[in-house]
Amino acid sequence: MERVRYMSIDVDARGLACPQPVIGVKKALDSIAEGTITAIVDNSVAKENVIKFATANNCGVSVSQQGDHYYIKITKGKAVPTEQTFKQPQTSNGKLVYLISQDTLGHGSAELGGVLMKSFMFTLLERDPRPDVIMFINAGVKLTVEGSPVLEHLSQLSSHGTQVLSCGTCLDFYGLKDKLAVGSVTNMFTIVDELSSAAKAVTL
């Protein structure tokens, strides 16, 4: 097996103010499928922000300091080729993702379904680990807009770091785009991307 896509890039962000070091690393990460980026920065703010960016993008990070300069090694995709890489060929980003396509839970009574959805969201909030991403499509988007019975739960999930995404086409269809009350609007590309790269995707 050839590892032709494996790249190594240096990003010298010394002398650059926030957010330039993060932008530099983002561009470098976007340009490779997998590989290693070494970012060099000269202040602790840039160091912390680059580490946050890399961690949020599920990359491996290690830092070494030489004088006033920090060398941040960021590994994207399969780790630096080791035996383990071949044992576990996976491209998962480690995320727990939920796709919710209706505003009630289960088939049968709509009233019961509403109660169950509320209880479900509450339980998601209480359970550890919380979801990394919850995506709402079709009638599911009624849960993320003003007046939703689970708005409080979703807001709390969102403030704990769960990404709450609502399908833009669906919000448009139901005339709810102005009413979105939690999270942000997404598109089918992101939905497919999140579902296919998740460690675990649950569809309701």
- Strand boundaries in 44-148, DSSP class E: 60-66, 69-76, 96-100, 133-136
If one asks whether residue 3 binds another protein (CB under 8 A), the answer comes out as no
User: Phi and psi dihedrals of 15, rounded to 5?
Assistant: 80, 0
* Euclidean distance between CA atoms 98 and 114, whole angstroms: 18
Report whether 35 contacts 9 (CB < 8 A): yes
Q: How far is the CB of 21 from another protein (least distance, A)?
A: 9
Q: How far is the CB of 193 from another protein (least distance, A)?
A: 15
If one asks whether residue 161 binds another protein (CB under 8 A), the answer comes out as yes
Report whether 150 contacts 143 (CB < 8 A): yes
For another protein, which residue of 8, 65, 90, 184 counts as binding (CB under 8 A)? Answer: 184
- Binding-site string for another protein from residue 131 to residue 160, where x marks contact by CB under 8 A and - marks none: -------------------------x-xxx
For another protein, which residue of 36, 53, 118, 137 counts as binding (CB under 8 A)? Answer: 53
If one asks whether residue 124 binds another protein (CB under 8 A), the answer comes out as no
CA dist list (Å): 165 to 83, 110, 182, 183, 190 = 37, 24, 8, 6, 9
The size of the interface with another protein (CB under 8 A), counted in residues, is 26
Choose the stretch contacting another protein; rule: CB under 8 A; options: 1-9, 53-61, 96-104, 113-121: 53-61
Q: How far is the CB of 19 from another protein (least distance, A)?
A: 4
For another protein, which residue of 41, 51, 121, 191 counts as binding (CB under 8 A)? Answer: 51
* Euclidean distance between CA atoms 58 and 65, whole angstroms: 22
Q: Evaluate the CA torsion angle 114, 120, 125, 131 in order and state its sign.
A: negative
Residue closer to another protein (CB basis): 17 or 204: 17
